Structure 1
Amino acid sequence: MSGFDDTKPIYLQIKERIEEQIVSDQLKEEEQIPSTTQFVNFYKINHLTVSKGIHLLVEDGTIYKKRGVGMFVAKGAKARLLFRRKESFVAQYIEPLLKEADHLGMTVEELVQLIIARKERDHT
């Protein structure tokens, strides 16, 4: 298998790869995604594994099926994915950051200044 992480089920990684292609505009709304067979042949993985990952995207409305034609990116998919990612970012990074900052007695202003300084340093 090419390029898969052993710490997470492959079907979830297939789902995440398609989501990433949507977020990065490699796949646009109303555009057809590769077929299950194309995924199977490209990644050399089981058909059921690919189907399971794609099914998750159909269930959450990210992609939809056109019978006899294929799978397509749904309208609004990118916006929904970005919204979910931002919520996840807040839960995973911002909330623990704020909790630790409170524990250290840091003010919001101090945090903002640290973030600005780090961002400027890393992007110069």
Structure 2
Amino acid sequence: MKHLLLDDKPIYLQVREQIEDQIINRQLQAGDQAPSTNQLVNFYKINHATVSKGINQLVEDGILFKKRGIGMFVAEGARKQLLEKRRQMFVEDYIVTLVQEAEKLEITEEEILKFIKQVKGSEK
């Protein structure tokens, strides 16, 4: 049985994002050893090449680095880099759409901020 994997996006991206989430949430910190490819294959019950593709993208982006014969480790500055990337994605995926819809509905910036504060207040 596969753990925590959805059908809405490629599995290698989900594996990559879950490791990114662990770094962002400080479950993995700079210098920490990341889960091995074999550990991820066994946990998710998926193909080795699929896991490797996600891991290799993290290495190419400088989030993880390889220590030959030892494993993968979280690079210095990885969390900061991921936060910057995710913030930009947040703006593109949510804020742009929010602003466009608000303009259509003639909602002011002040009203948007009021709505955000209301939502945040209701979550506490």
TM-score (structure 1 length as normaliser) = 0.93
Q: How does 1:43-122 map to 2 (within 5 A)?
A: 43-122=44-123
User: How far did 1:95 drift?
Assistant: 0.9
5+ long unaligned stretches in structure 1: none
TM-superposition CA deviations, 1:53-91 (whole Å, max 9, x none): 100100111101111111100000001111111111111
Q: How does 1:6-17 map to 2 (within 5 A)?
A: 6-17=7-18
Give distance in 2, aligned partners of 1:39 and 1:102: 45
When structure 1 is superposed on structure 2, of 55-64 and 99-108 the one drifting more is 99-108
Give distance in 2, aligned partners of 1:31 and 1:119: 33
RMSD: 1.1
User: How far did 1:121 drift?
Assistant: 2.5
| 3-state secondary structure, aligned to 2:66 | strand
User: How far did 1:107 drift?
Assistant: 1.4
Q: Which runs of 4+ in 1 moved over 3 A?
A: none
| 3-state secondary structure, aligned to 2:59 | helix
User: How far did 1:31 drift?
Assistant: 0.6
TM-superposition CA deviations, 1:78-117 (whole Å, max 9, x none): 0111111111111111111111111122211111112112
TM-superposition CA deviations, 1:20-43 (whole Å, max 9, x none): 110111111111111111111222
Find the counterpart in structure 2 of residue 36 from structure 1. 37
Q: Which residue type is aligned with residue 5 of structure 1?
A: L
5+ long unaligned stretches in structure 2: none
Give distance in 2, aligned partners of 1:2 and 1:111: 38
TM-score (structure 2 length as normaliser) = 0.93
Q: How many residues align?
A: 123
